[in-house]
């Protein structure tokens, strides 16, 4: 069964982009189609999200860096334009998950993941977390929470994704495909 999933992200230093690519690759490995979308084109290959992308997709993975426990302003500005989708109920019952990156272990990832969830819940989307059956969730010394995939980039925002963080991102993509197929 074919599923098309949007992996929507904003990335300032590359960490959230790396997470988005891991999630997208995992979706593709499960036979799904992953549409990588950003809020602002920073690279020539970046594709900016449109409301039609959301309407036509079967599910969504959404991530930004943490900004004092909240989503990046670029993402917030976009979600503020989606009242017309909300009024028509065009995202209701679509599965979704969230992911984030911060520069420190206590930099607000969990609060940001909850903040990222709010517009999705308002749109009636079905929010998924990371279940504890994912062994890396219990082993990680950096990012990864039951609320969604996360990464700790370090004070210079230069830390690469850890093996546990990669596995958690991959599990998020796999689960999004699995749940989306069940709902179809």
Helix, strand or coil, per DSSP, at residue 122: helix
Q: Is the pLDDT of residue 178 over 90?
A: yes
Distance CA 10, CA 138 (A): 27
**What's this model's pTM, rounded to 2 decimal places?**
0.97
pLDDT tens-digit series, residues 92-121: 999 999 999 999 988 999 999 999 999 999
pLDDT at 34: 98
Whether 157 shows a pLDDT value over 90: the answer reads: no
3-state secondary structure 148-164: EEEEECCCCCCCCCCHH
> Confidence class of residue 25 from pLDDT cuts 50, 70 and 90?
very high
Q: What pLDDT digit, counting tens, does each position of 52-93 carry?
A: 999 999 999 999 999 999 999 999 999 999 999 999 999 999
Give the pLDDT confidence score for residue 7 in this predicted structure. Answer: 98
């Amino acid at each position: 069964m074919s599923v098309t999933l949007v992996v929507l992200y904003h990335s300032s230093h590359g960490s959230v982009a790396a997470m988005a690519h891991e999630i997208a690759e995992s979706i593709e490995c499960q036979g799904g189609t992953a549409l990588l979308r950003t809020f602002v084109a920073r690279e020539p290959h970046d594709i900016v999200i449109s409301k039609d992308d959301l309407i036509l997709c079967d599910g969504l993975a959404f991530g930004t860096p943490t900004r004092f426990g909240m989503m990046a302003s670029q993402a917030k500005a976009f979600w503020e334009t989606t009242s017309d989708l909300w009024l028509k109920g065009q995202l209701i019952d679509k599965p979704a998950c969230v992911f984030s990156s911060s520069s420190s272990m206590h930099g607000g990832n969990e609060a940001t993941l909850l903040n990222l969830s709010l517009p999705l819940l308002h749109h009636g989307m079905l929010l998924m977390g990371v279940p504890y059956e994912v062994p890396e969730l219990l082993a990680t010394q950096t990012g990864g929470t039951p609320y969604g995939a996360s990464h700790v980039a370090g004070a210079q925002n230069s830390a690469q994704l850890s093996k546990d963080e990669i596995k958690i991102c991959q599990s998020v993509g796999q689960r999004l495909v699995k749940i989306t197929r069940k709902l179809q």
